[in-house]
Amino acid sequence: MSSDSVFKPEMDSDPQGELADMVASMNTAANRLTPPNGYRSGAPRSIVGQRACLTDRKMSLQERGSRVARQPTIETKRVSITDADDCLQLNQYKLKKEIGKGSYGAVKLAYNEDSEQYYAMKVVSKKKLMRLCGFLRRLPPQGSNSQQDLFPKSMQPLERVYREIAILKKLDHPNVVKLIEVLDDPDEDGLHMAFELMKEGPVMEVPTENPLTEEQARFYFRDVVLGIEYLHYHKIIHRDIKPSNLLLGDDGHVKLADFGVSNEFEGPDALLSSTAGTPAFMAPEMMSEHQQSFSGKALDVWAMGITLFCFVFGECPFYDEYIVSLHNKIKNTPVDFPETPSISDELKDLIERMLDKNPSTRITIPEIKLHPWVTENGSSPLPLEEEHCTAVEVTDEEVQNSVKLIPSLSAVILVKSMLRKRSFSNPFECEGRRAERSMSAPGGLLTGSWGLLGSSPLPHPSSRKISREGSREGELEDLYEDESFTETAD
């Protein structure tokens, strides 16, 4: 069964059986995480026959015109976990096999029984992340502008995850993967994030004997440029751009994924002093023997240059089995272009300027957008920044409340009933009792029938227990909303 057929509506007749077939057809094993040297073991995946022709794809960002705003991320703090025969039931989601790895957790295939759709569920252990605190980062160098590095080295990994959630909730762009729902029960160890499922997987595997053509590479690279420009516009540095983090959507366009090591910054650029990301895609300024700060935007440009090289040659320009030797090559060895396949002089020029070892003279995103190879000598210009970027701001309060309780089902029913009747009176109150009081006296809403269902008083929320099973029956009994859970740092 092909990866195209398993996602057709006919699969609803047997979702359990189709899930297993889907995992097999997706060919996304758990070793998707790129090893330190930038290469994976095993036979490379062939691209021929697996990617639609460029002429079959949908419209580009310019042609797509105005976009409908994304739906807000669903936030759930009541989680019911049940072990089934072949899966783990997590509220309305059925979690199946592992299909990938992120920076801080595994990614599993999830089937939403309510929407009858598939998602990629990132699962992390809060306890495990908390145990990592204090062992990942060194202290910032003296004299560095540490205030601009909004991800200090002392920040706990769990705090990074909540920062990632707060950032993803705000992002809305065709070339950035969307966060659909966050499930975080304060009494459970697991933190779950449901992303839109990119069923085509990464744009390519590295290494591969079937690299992209220049036309294909240009198509995907233009998407990467727009996605990175959008992030930089919102003062976010991705820090881990590589082919395995560039996922193909249903329309054939690339979406940036995995913001686990991203940084938010203030001012015109980020001044960073910590190392993060995949070594084979790290910039040479990150490997200095003397601790110093470096430009965050320039880091992303360098990683984009390595990625573009991988697109057309199927391998990284700098490779060594040993990390120390790899770092030496990145810092000292010039870019060497293989004889085959042959690429245009314009593409060579772009790669060389992106892989400039001096970050101060390295090409920038605005210059990349105007490069002849990217625009096909001006015949296909990219949209202006203001045409595809909208302002967002992530506040400290939003980070603390990145996961909060959504209203219970009964509360939604109550509000809908009131709106349908166009009245703020109690919709469950009998007509006879409602007629006894005047709606012109708003005090009655607070002291009279608002807190009563007929003649039976509702128990105070503090005197009732919430069902840990997360059942719909328990939600119907709860006509109140719990306080939002706030994650406080030590």
Catalytic center residues: 240
d(CA 284, CA 208): 25
d(CA 217, CA 60): 15
Distance of CA 443 to the CA centre of its chain: 47
Name 213's Cβ contacts closer than 8 Å, sequence gap at least 6.
312
d(CA 164, CA 487): 14
Of the candidates 203, 175, 226, 242, the one whose C-alpha atom is nearest the C-alpha of residue 375 is 226
d(CA 346, CA 341): 15
d(CA 291, CA 269): 19
**Using CB atoms within 10 A of its CB, is residue 405 exposed (0-12), middle (13-18) or buried (19+)?**
middle
Residue 108 annotated in ligand binding: no
Residue 209: both structure tokens together: 């004997």
d(CA 164, CA 124): 13
Name 387's Cβ contacts closer than 8 Å, sequence gap at least 6.
62
One-letter identity of residue 253: H
Of the candidates 199, 237, 224, 458, the one whose C-alpha atom is nearest the C-alpha of residue 359 is 237
Cβ-based neighbour number of residue 286 at 10 Å:
22
Sign of the CA dihedral 154, 187, 406, 81?
positive
Considering all CA atoms of the chain, what is the largest pairwise distance in Å, rounded to the nearest integer? 91
Binding region for ATP: 122
Annotated binding site, which residues?
122
